[in-house]
């Protein structure tokens, strides 16, 4: 009996000691030397990894070109006091003026960070925010939902206006359904509406906002297509608009539009998942699932935006494309013209970023966070490095 | 990332239990039968059964032992079983499903009073909805219930959980029994229930019961992180929101006996509204999703032994399910979907006792499932399933053998406007074989094992969900190999009454695993058959019963080791990694002492480190968690009235933990129960 009591009390004591609080520690930065240092006006770039919805695994990486080092997962270490770190689904990142903006879709916020060290300056709450664009001291952020809804069961999207000095939302304007990217020509903001959550009634419009009055002054309907995603402008004042296509045989496509006549000037016949305009050269990537082959069809193109001709259907020249499963993001270094392709693989694993030189030869590759998706170059001169810079 | 302190604790507990068992083994009592009856195995009262119909004993929790556990639902009780991983999204209304031996939730068959609970839509049964109030026994069978006199459906899953409600039971000379219970506690719980059993005739009795549950579902949770230098990075405590639940369950059953046979008819109705609390992510601590469910089914069974040679069992069911999902959150896109499912099922099983040591059976089932939903371009699937099983059993002195072969035939059709076509017809043959060897001729020591190949059908969601489903999916197969032994012995010692030990080693493979695959579109996924998992596991459990004076005590310990690795594609970064949410080590310990109607219960549950996604890297790491739960109850008898008052304290040390990534579990919480029976 004594034996029994001894054993039982020993178990009880041990069990009680198991109430030890374990310390969970923030995940620190992982640094890898990936290449030789290169000194140009571009110091490096930030890569925003989306992370799966609900996983809170949005993360920020920084490639430091001046040292050749790749820094994985820098946000938590630079901002240790932010509860639950960067957040859920990183959807866009850009540097405008002397600040960096990271749009975190499912955390309903825009993180305002210092461009040199990625430390938080402020957090701006914007519900369901998607993409951001800077213009004349203001930041414009597209969102799937507006402030007040006429019909809350079929909410229209909105564009929010943020003062980049006070970092306060100073206005919002209702646009089409589930707006995505925006482009600016002159004082007009063009918003690509998708209606992606209204299957099969996709939106086929571009909302036009006059930035002087911050009101929608026009809605361009593009009859040929719907479900728009990417939009950019070229030096000839034309819009480049991508459609995701739909499930029923209308494939993803790229259109060139004259904003004055509101007409499609040219249908490029190029599917687009992501695109990046470097000057008047447009790089595109695309991944499309086929139920016929049971595989994803992947394509890469380079387009001359001035002549509206495809320059190249195979921008990777050394066979590396065979090891890229699901290209999700493309970006071009404005100085060296090196280009970067991010592979999101199965979305639920760490991605890989590939660096190619201007001739399409692999320079280096590196593991990233989950769903590597959005790149912002950081450098000496905003005019050179800011992809989003307009005017 | 290792936590030596906690691993040490587990090892220490294991060792101690072992020492405990060894100390006990040296010494002999008649308490054994009682003990066996309650914790080891409650055999169903088989009117027409062969001797020892199940050649491998299930893990069972029954009767008083089941009621004493700090468990609100069937899901909570299953945590004490070996080889079970509970997926728990937290709180009273949160979904709770189980994964047995790492093969996946969809491979678990859940049988309610002998007939499978279906969910053709997603193949999962939320075990959090089944309260323990009117449950007699919960049994877990690996492979299948090794009893050849059963429906073809009983042969059709990789592992099975049987939930049996209480059949009316009357004290001598009484024709009724009524018990009323009230529960309250943390989360704003109000949970009254009533059970009324009535003897109608000599041979027929009735049981009616109703249970209402309301809870606001609020609880405090905490997230703490430290910096590398040891300083606090953040430490935040918040209240879980939108986790409220309101539910009503009513059941009515008629039970009858006839010469060499019995029958039952049961009706079930459940209705609920609940908030879906959702993942806690940066800047989002409250969500606006809600769900409504209604579920109704009627089922009946009849069995009779017509002669020494022939017995018959017939059963049938009709079920109707409704579910509504609403996302009404100003920050999100509005969603309001309604889902309807119907299921009809009939089964006939025949048993032939050819000699007293050899029997054979044949069973045929027919099932119909259909689903309706107001999703865009939904394909309105209908599935017909025919199952035919033949089985044979030998029970000869020291050896028992069983073999079964199940044939499954499935046809599907859809009504769709656009691209969707129905999944092609399926025909599958699934064998299983079981053995049990008793070296000493007594069932105190048994060596047993089984082999089984089976599959699960893709669910309606896998096949037809708008823009995600893939009608060309093949079934997902599992292959199971198991060998084990069980030993038990009454001791008759002045302290130690009884000891039992059970161990199983197993190897499973999952082929053609159905996984979500990215498509590069905004609706990012489709379902494909790509995935191969190999699972090696070890389960050990021990029981000791002892008494000191009039204090009777029981200790149950179980340990599970699982290595469940992904072998899909050598080019994957996670090739060879442990699959998500499967710990290598898990332990549970429960201790019970009773004295003069006082009953003390203590339990400890430990789940080792896991990964929340395929890659076993630091970004997906989930730390181990463990909880300590206690309860104390007292039975009184005042005249004809029986009264029981119980208090429970769960998560005694108020530990912050998550079972599922970003779904915080409740801290310390309590519950009070008062029950009156006349």
Question: Given A107, A247, A328, which is nearest B284 (Cβ)?
Answer: A107
Cβ-Cβ contacts under 8 Å, B330 against chain A: 127, 145, 149, 152
Give the integer Cα–Cα distance in Å for A367 and A388: 26
Interface residue of B7, B283, B284, B513 to substitute, partner A, most A CBs within 10 Å: B283
Closest-approach residue (CA) in chain A for B229: A25
Q: What are phi and psi of B443, to 5 degrees?
A: -85, 15
Closest-approach residue (CA) in chain B for A248: B419
Strand, helix or coil for residue B295: strand
Interchain CB distance below 8 Å, B227 and A127:
no
Give the integer Cα–Cα distance in Å for B206 and B218: 38
Cβ-Cβ contacts under 8 Å, A15 against chain B: 9, 13, 589, 604, 628
For B582, the token pair is 């499967």
Contact between B76 and B88 (Cβ < 8 Å): no
pLDDT at position A75 over 50: yes
Mean pLDDT of chain B: 88
Q: Which residues lie below 8 Å from residue B577, measured CB to CB, with a gap of 6+?
A: B565, B566, B611, B614, B615, B616
In 3D space, the residue among B35, B43, B45 whose CA is nearest the CA of residue B65 turns out to be B35
DSSP string, B22-63: HHHHH---TTHHHHIIIII------TTPPSS--SSPPEEEEH
* Residue A199 distance to chain B (closest CA, Å): 7
Give the integer Cα–Cα distance in Å for B101 and B475: 19
CB atoms within 10 A of CB A381: 11
Contact between B108 and B123 (Cβ < 8 Å): no
The string of pLDDT tens digits covering residues A230-249 is 999 999 999 999 999 876 67
pLDDT at position A321 over 70: yes
The pairing of beta strand A295-304 with beta strand A309-312? antiparallel
Interchain CB distance below 8 Å, B282 and A88:
yes
A344 touches B: beta carbon within 8 Å? yes
Interchain CB distance below 8 Å, B227 and A10:
no
Contact between A375 and A359 (Cβ < 8 Å): no
What pLDDT shows up at residue A11? 54
DSSP string, A109-150: EEEEE-TTT--EEEEEE-TTEEEEEEETTEEEEEESS-SS-S
* Residue B361 distance to chain A (closest CA, Å): 43
Contact between B381 and B361 (Cβ < 8 Å): no
pLDDT at position B293 over 90: yes
- Considering chain B, what percentage of its residues have pLDDT values greater than 90? 73
Strand, helix or coil for residue B612: coil
Per the model's pLDDT, the better-predicted residue between A344 and A7 turns out to be: A344
Give the integer Cα–Cα distance in Å for B648 and B629: 8
Bridge partners (DSSP) listed for residue A232: A240
What pLDDT shows up at residue A12? 53
Contact between B46 and B63 (Cβ < 8 Å): no
Split at pLDDT 50, 70, 90, the class of A383 is: low
What pLDDT shows up at residue A13? 53
Interchain CB distance below 8 Å, B548 and A123:
no
Beta strands in A212-349 (DSSP E): 215-221, 228-233, 239-243, 253-258, 263-267, 274-278, 281-290, 295-304, 309-312, 327-332, 339-343
Instruction: Count Cα atoms within 13 angstroms, Cβ side, for A381.
Output: 6
Angle between helices B4-26 and A2-17 (to 10 degrees): 170
What pLDDT shows up at residue B418? 58
Interchain CB distance below 8 Å, A22 and B20:
no
What pLDDT shows up at residue A199? 80
* Residue A298 distance to chain B (closest CA, Å): 9
What pLDDT shows up at residue B4? 41
What pLDDT shows up at residue B526? 77
Q: In total, how many domains does chain B have?
A: 1
Question: Given A85, A326, A349, which is nearest B520 (Cβ)?
Answer: A326
Residue length, chain B? 678
DSSP string, B363-399: EEEEEEEEEEE--TT----EEEEEEEEEEEEEEETTE
Split at pLDDT 50, 70, 90, the class of B523 is: very low
Contact between B543 and B577 (Cβ < 8 Å): no
Bridge partners (DSSP) listed for residue A168: A163
What pLDDT shows up at residue B624? 95
What pLDDT shows up at residue A249? 73
CB atoms within 10 A of CB B33: 11
Interchain CB distance below 8 Å, B613 and A349:
yes
Contact between B450 and B56 (Cβ < 8 Å): yes
The string of pLDDT tens digits covering residues B221-240 is 999 999 989 999 999 999 99
Contact between B654 and B668 (Cβ < 8 Å): yes
DSSP string, B417-445: SSS--PPPPEEEEEEEEEEEE-TTSSTTE
The answer for A 89-128 residues in CB contact with B (under 8 A) is 104, 106-109, 123, 125, 127-128
For B554, the token pair is 């029981």
A19 touches B: beta carbon within 8 Å? yes
Give the integer Cα–Cα distance in Å for B439 and A93: 70
Cβ-Cβ contacts under 8 Å, A194 against chain B: 522
Bridge partners (DSSP) listed for residue B251: B209, B268
List, in sequence order, the alpha helices (H) in chain A: 2-17, 75-78, 382-385
The answer for A 160-189 residues in CB contact with B (under 8 A) is 178
Cβ-Cβ contacts under 8 Å, A54 against chain B: 278-279, 281, 662
Q: What are phi and psi of A148, to 5 degrees?
A: -125, 135
Give the integer Cα–Cα distance in Å for B253 and B266: 4
For A169, the token pair is 């939302």
What pLDDT shows up at residue A216? 97
Interface residue of B1, B222, B282 to substitute, partner A, most A CBs within 10 Å: B282
Interchain CB distance below 8 Å, A80 and B330:
no
Sign for the CA dihedral angle at A97, A100, A105, A106 comes to negative
Interface residue of B237, B520, B551, B575 to substitute, partner A, most A CBs within 10 Å: B520
A28 touches B: beta carbon within 8 Å? yes
Give kind and range of the element (H or E) at residue B629: strand B625-638
Split at pLDDT 50, 70, 90, the class of B24 is: very low
Interchain CB distance below 8 Å, B591 and A8:
yes
The answer for A 218-247 residues in CB contact with B (under 8 A) is 229, 244, 247
Q: Which fold has domain A79-390?
A: Methylamine Dehydrogenase; Chain H (2.130.10)
Domain of residue B594: give its range.
4-677
Mean of the pLDDT values across residues B579-597?
94
Respond yes or no on whether the N-terminal peptide bond of residue A200 is cis (omega within 30° of 0). Answer: yes
For B493, the token pair is 């010692």
Give the integer Cα–Cα distance in Å for A44 and B160: 56
Interchain CB distance below 8 Å, A19 and B16:
no
Cβ-Cβ contacts under 8 Å, A82 against chain B: 234, 282
Interface residue of A3, A4, A108, A144 to substitute, partner B, most B CBs within 10 Å: A4
Could you give the C-alpha distances from A128 to A88, A103, A145, B104, B284, in angstroms and in order?
11, 9, 6, 33, 11
* Owner of token pair 């989950």: A370
Q: Which residues lie below 8 Å from residue B201, measured CB to CB, with a gap of 6+?
A: none
What pLDDT shows up at residue A8? 53
Mean of the pLDDT values across residues B509-534?
80
Parse chain A into domains and list their residue ranges.
79-390
Per the model's pLDDT, the better-predicted residue between B71 and B426 turns out to be: B426
Mean of the pLDDT values across residues B106-116?
94
The CATH number of the domain holding residue B42 is 2.40.170.20
CB atoms within 10 A of CB B2: 8
In 3D space, the residue among B488, B552, B604, B586 whose CA is nearest the CA of residue B69 turns out to be B604
CB neighbour class for B171 (10 Å; exposed up to 12, middle 13-18, buried from 19): exposed
Residue length, chain A? 391
Question: Given B3, B19, B283, which is nearest A7 (Cβ)?
Answer: B19
Q: CA end-to-end span of chain A, whole Å?
A: 89
């Amino acid at each position: 009996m004594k034996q029994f009591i001894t054993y039982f009390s020993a178990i009880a004591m041990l069990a009680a000691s198991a109430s030890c609080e374990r310390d969970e520690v923030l995940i620190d930065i992982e640094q890898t030397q990936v290449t030789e240092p290169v000194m140009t006006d571009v110091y490096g770039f930030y890569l925003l990894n989306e992370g799966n919805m609900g996983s809170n695994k949005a993360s920020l990486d920084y490639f430091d070109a001046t040292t050749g080092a790749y820094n994985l997962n820098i946000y938590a270490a630079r901002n240790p006091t932010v509860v639950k770190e960067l957040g859920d689904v990183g959807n866009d990142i850009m540097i405008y003026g002397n600040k960096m903006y990271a749009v975190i879709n499912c955390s309903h916020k825009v993180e305002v960070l210092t461009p040199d060290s990625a430390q938080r300056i402020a957090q701006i709450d914007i519900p369901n925010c998607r993409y951001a664009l800077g213009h004349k001291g203001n930041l414009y952020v597209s969102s799937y939902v507006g402030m007040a809804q006429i019909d809350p069961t079929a909410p229209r999207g909105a564009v929010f206006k943020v003062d980049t000095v006070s970092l306060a939302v100073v206005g919002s304007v209702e646009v089409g359904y589930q707006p995505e990217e925006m482009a600016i020509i002159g004082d007009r903001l063009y918003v690509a509406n998708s209606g992606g959550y209204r299957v099969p009634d996709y939106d086929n419009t571009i909302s036009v906002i006059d930035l002087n009055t911050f009101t929608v002054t026009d809605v361009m309907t593009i009859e040929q297509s719907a479900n728009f995603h990417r939009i950019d402008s070229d030096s000839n004042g034309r819009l480049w608009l991508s459609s995701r296509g739909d499930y029923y045989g209308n494939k993803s496509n790229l259109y060139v539009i004259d904003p004055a006549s509101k007409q499609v000037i040219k249908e490029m016949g190029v599917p687009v998942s992501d695109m990046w305009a470097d000057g008047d050269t447009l790089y595109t990537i695309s991944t499309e699932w086929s139920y016929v082959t049971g595989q994803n069809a992947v394509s890469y193109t380079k387009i001359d935006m001035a002549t509206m001709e495809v320059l190249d259907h195979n921008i990777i020249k050394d066979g590396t494309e065979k090891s890229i499963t699901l290209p999700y993001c493309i970006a071009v270094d404005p100085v060296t013209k090196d280009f970067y392709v991010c592979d999101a693989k199965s979305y639920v694993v760490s991605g890989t970023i590939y660096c190619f030189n201007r001739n399409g030869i692999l320079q280096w590759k590196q593991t990233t966070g989950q769903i590597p998706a959005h790149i912002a170059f950081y450098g000496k001169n905003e005019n050179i490095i800011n992809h989003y810079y307009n005017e | 990332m290792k936590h030596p302190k906690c691993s040490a604790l587990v090892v220490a507990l294991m060792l101690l239990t072992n020492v405990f068992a060894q100390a006990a083994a040296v010494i002999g009592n008649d308490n054994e039968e009682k003990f066996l009856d309650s914790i080891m195995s409650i055999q169903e009262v088989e009117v027409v059964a062969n001797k020892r119909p199940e050649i491998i004993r299930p893990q069972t929790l029954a009767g008083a032992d089941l009621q004493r556990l700090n468990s609100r639902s069937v899901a909570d009780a299953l945590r004490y079983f070996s080889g079970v991983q509970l997926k728990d999204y937290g709180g009273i209304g949160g979904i709770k499903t189980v994964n047995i031996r790492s093969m996946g939730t969809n491979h678990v068959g859940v049988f309610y009073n002998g007939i499978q609970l279906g969910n053709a839509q997603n193949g999962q049964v939320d075990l959090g909805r089944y309260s323990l109030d009117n449950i007699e026994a919960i049994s877990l069978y690996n492979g299948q219930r090794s009893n050849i006199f059963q429906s073809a459906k009983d042969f059709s899953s990789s592992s099975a959980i049987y939930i049996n409600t209480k059949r009316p039971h009357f004290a001598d000379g009484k024709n009724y029994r009524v018990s009323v219970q009230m529960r309250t506690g943390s989360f704003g719980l109000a949970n009254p229930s009533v059970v009324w059993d009535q003897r109608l005739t000599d041979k027929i009795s009735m049981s009616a019961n109703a249970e209402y549950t309301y809870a606001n579902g609020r609880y405090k949770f905490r997230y703490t992180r430290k910096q590398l230098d040891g300083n606090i990075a953040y430490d935040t405590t918040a209240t879980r929101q939108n986790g409220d639940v309101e539910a009503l369950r009513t059941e009515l059953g008629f039970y009858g006996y006839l010469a060499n046979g019995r029958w039952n008819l049961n009706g079930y109705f459940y209705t609920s509204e609940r908030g879906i609390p959702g993942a806690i992510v940066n800047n989002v601590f409250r969500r606006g999703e809600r769900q409504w469910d209604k579920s109704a089914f009627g089922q009946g069974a009849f069995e009779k032994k017509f002669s020494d040679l022939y017995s018959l069992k017939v059963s049938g069911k009709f079920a109707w399910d409704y579910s509504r999902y609403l996302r009404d959150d100003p920050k999100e896109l509005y969603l309001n979907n309604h889902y309807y499912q119907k299921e009809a099922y009939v089964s006939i099983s025949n048993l032939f006792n050819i000699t007293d040591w050899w029997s054979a059976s044949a069973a045929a089932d027919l099932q119909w499932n259909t689903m309706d939903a107001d999703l865009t371009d939904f394909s309105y699937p209908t599935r017909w399933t025919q199952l035919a099983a033949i089985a044979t059993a030998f029970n000869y002195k020291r050896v028992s053998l069983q073999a079964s072969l199940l044939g499954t035939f499935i046809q599907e059709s859809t009504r769709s406007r656009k691209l969707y076509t129905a999944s092609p017809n399926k025909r599958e043959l699934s064998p299983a074989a079981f053995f049990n060897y008793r070296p000493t001729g007594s069932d105190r020591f048994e060596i047993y094992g089984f082999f089984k190949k089976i599959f699960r059908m893709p669910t309606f969601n896998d096949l037809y969900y708008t823009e995600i489903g893939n009608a060309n999916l093949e079934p997902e197969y599992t292959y199971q190999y198991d060998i084990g032994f069980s030993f038990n012995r009454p001791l008759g010692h002045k302290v130690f009454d009884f000891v039992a030990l059970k161990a199983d080693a197993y190897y499973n493979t999952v082929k053609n695993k159905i996984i979500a695959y990215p498509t590069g579109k905004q609706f990012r996924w489709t379902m494909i058959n790509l995935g191969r998992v190999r699972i090696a596991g070890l389960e050990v459990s021990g029981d000791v019963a002892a008494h000191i004076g009039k204090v009777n005590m029981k200790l149950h310990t179980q340990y599970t080791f699982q290595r469940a690795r992904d072998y899909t594609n050598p080019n994957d970064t996670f090739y060879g990694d442990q699959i998500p949410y499967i710990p290598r080590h898990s332990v549970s310990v429960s201790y019970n002492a009773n004295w003069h109607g006082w009953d003390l219960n203590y339990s400890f549950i430990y789940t080792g480190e896991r990964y929340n996604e395929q890659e076993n890297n630091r970004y997906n790491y989930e730390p181990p968690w463990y909880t300590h739960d206690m309860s104390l109850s007292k039975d009184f008898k005042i005249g004809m009235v029986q009264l029981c008052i119980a208090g429970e304290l769960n998560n005694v040390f108020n530990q912050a933990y998550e079972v599922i990534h970003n779904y915080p579990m409740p801290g310390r919480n309590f519950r009070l129960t008062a029950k009156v029976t006349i």
